[in-house]
Amino acid sequence: MTTVPDLPDAAEALEHFPFDDGHGIEVHERFRELRQRKGLLRVRLAHGEPTWLVTRYEDARLVLGDERFSRAMSVGRDYPRPDEATDLAGLITLDAPEHTRLRKLLMKALSKSRMEAQRPTVHAAADDLLSSAMNAGPGMDIVADYAQQIMLLSICDLIGVPASDREVFESTSAALLPGSSVGPEDLMRRFGDLRVCTEQLIAERRARPRDDLMSAMIQARDGEERLTDTEMIDLVVTLLLARFEAIIAQIPNCVYVLTRGDRALWNRLRAHPAELPAAIEELLRYNASAGPGLFVRYAREDVNVGGTLVRAGEALTVANESANHDPARFEDPDAIDFTRPPGGHLTFGHGAHFCVGAHLGRLDLQEGLRVLLTRTPELTIRDIKWKERPYVRGPESMRVTWRGGPE
């Protein structure tokens, strides 16, 4: 039977979400209680209107994959979010048919084979970064000195950004780092520089195509449909933003889980490197990395979700970290099992908005961790500072050392 609960009128009567301060990557115990109760919970984030919280796997797939739930309806609304920023734009804010058209053209350019061709570049970049860190001293900040640089080199090489222009991408990405002191006006200026740089690259590749993503986007066709310059610029910015926090967080998050306690998982992967792809899928499922507000949808019409009648125009927030730990979908979900059948987790989303760069993200993780596992068997975390109110949970900084480092 569908329930239509009485909603409290006062904002203070609603439970605040997230349930903790965002430190760490452990799944909050409150999710276990919510998965067992009937219906959805009405919550309020730090900013924006109230939202239904979706915690069960089956309900999450419904909201993420059903066209009755809209991303485009977030634009121009006081949508639920953890910070004051309200401007939304790009591929992630569109619904069909506009989203279908742009995504189809992008996927023609961003083929799996093109992403897989990045593997040697990513591995070499990770290897060089670690060598530089080893030459400089007995440790590094794995966030700023390693994960950020891998992401930056990977995305620039994929798009085809020449070395002379990478400073613009690096400047913008540095401003996005957790703890950055860059203010809103400076950040907007950097994004303006990034858009100008991308516009110039489009003109260059239109005149002299190369074997890179920018050239492929210019050439991508679907009948008479092609990407406009503005759409290509927006897609480049979207790719940078979509991959930035996720990859920068996931490499240190995985190191954190693998090396804690008796280091059994770290030692296992060092002894059995062929398990790395499966291990990363399990870590992506296990780590509660997605912060609040990443998966907001609006109901286009009245829809029954998990026993609650969600009215047209109401917001829903998917807690994919809870869905990824739902025992109705994953046996013994709070255990890390590298032999677990692959697939099914919602870390990269689901449905029409499934992350277009998921394969490249996996590749960056695989090669970034592979180099650390191979070359730093005694890798040890010395200090962690967790991000405050993150969109993607993870360290703001993580100082690591290896053999020869200070005790």
Summarised one tens digit per residue, pLDDT across range 113-165 is: 998 999 999 999 999 999 999 999 889 999 989 998 998 888 889 999 888 88
In the structure encoding, which two tokens stand for residue 172, read together? 């913008």
Is residue 181, in this structure, part of any structural domain at all? yes
CA distance 115 to 358: 10
Least confident of 268-282, 290-304, 334-348: 290-304
CATH number of the domain that residue 212 is part of: 1.10.630.10
In the structure encoding, which two tokens stand for residue 321, read together? 């970290």
CA distance 129 to 362: 19
CA distance 46 to 22: 13
CA distance 362 to 280: 8
Task: Please give the model's pTM, rounded to 2 decimal places.
Answer: 0.90
Segments forming the whole domain that contains residue 342: 11-401
Is residue 406, in this structure, part of any structural domain at all? no
How many domains does the chain contain in total?
1
CA distance 69 to 304: 12
Q: What is the pLDDT of residue 242?
A: 67
Q: What is the DSSP letter of 144?
A: I
Q: Which of 99, 90, 108, 97 is nearest to 221 (CA)?
A: 108
Is residue 378, in this structure, part of any structural domain at all? yes
Is residue 4, in this structure, part of any structural domain at all? no
Is residue 248, in this structure, part of any structural domain at all? yes
Q: How confident is the model at residue 167 (pLDDT cuts 50, 70, 90)?
A: confident
Is residue 3, in this structure, part of any structural domain at all? no
Is residue 5, in this structure, part of any structural domain at all? no
Is residue 92, in this structure, part of any structural domain at all? yes
In the structure encoding, which two tokens stand for residue 396, read together? 């703001």
